[in-house]
Amino acid sequence: MPAKKNWLIVTSMVKVVITTDRAAVRLFERQVKLYEEKGAYRRLFRPQMVLETVMSAFHDLTLTGLDGQELPLAPFAGQVLLVVNVASKCGLTPQYAGLENLYQHYRAQGFHVLGLPCNQFAGQEPGTDDEISQFCSLTYGVNFPLSSKLEVNGPNRHQLYRLLAGEGAEFPGDITWNFEKFLIGPDGRVLARFSPRTTLEDPALIEAVESALAALPAA
């Protein structure tokens, strides 16, 4: 049987993605067009950056954002991403400030943060999507994307967390509490996992982020 051919996409933003999945190609093209139309391109991509990566199962996923719109992970291919399950009424909630600071400090280098609200730990994320959005914006000035509430453990565990922490994952095991952190590389692989109490100023976390960014192709 002949091997699948790689499909090469060149968009008007001078982005290149290599993938073996036609569906992933179409998804990426639609998302590029969407972000161009919304003027959000500069928030998610570094200008003139070339993405040379195989689309992973992680980047194939599409979540639902707090605004009810689709939140595809495809635009994060070729970037470094910190994925965090968050909650508004937790003793660790002030970590939102550290997440936003980290995002702002490294975003120009290709770093992003994705917040995933979850109400599985002591019911500490009870609000609606609108309430969560307002809380994050007004209290911590959050600018990074957040999904609608999802489950990170148990039989209804979201597919994203099956990839991050399920059987066969790089760092398997149930999520222990709010604000557990996964550092995702440009190819969708988990590079590191940090406990909920690891602060965003922790030297080990900072070193992991900087090492991942240093490995990205030059813009």
Catalytic residues: 90
Identify the three-state secondary structure at position 148.
coil
Q: Which amino acid is at 52?
A: E
Helices (H), the chain: 22-38, 41-44, 57-60, 95-106, 129-140, 159-165, 203-214
**Of 145, 156, 162, whose CA–CA distance to 74 is shortest?**
145
Question: Alpha carbon of 52 to those of 92, 97, 171: distances in Å?
Answer: 37, 32, 25
Whether the CB-CB separation of 69 and 35 falls below 8 Å is answered with no
Name 9's bridge partners: 17
In this structure, are residues 74 and 28 in contact, taking their beta carbons and an 8 Å threshold? Answer: yes
Evaluate whether 210 touches 109 at the Cβ level (below 8 Å): no
Sign of the Cα torsion 23, 58, 102, 48 reads negative
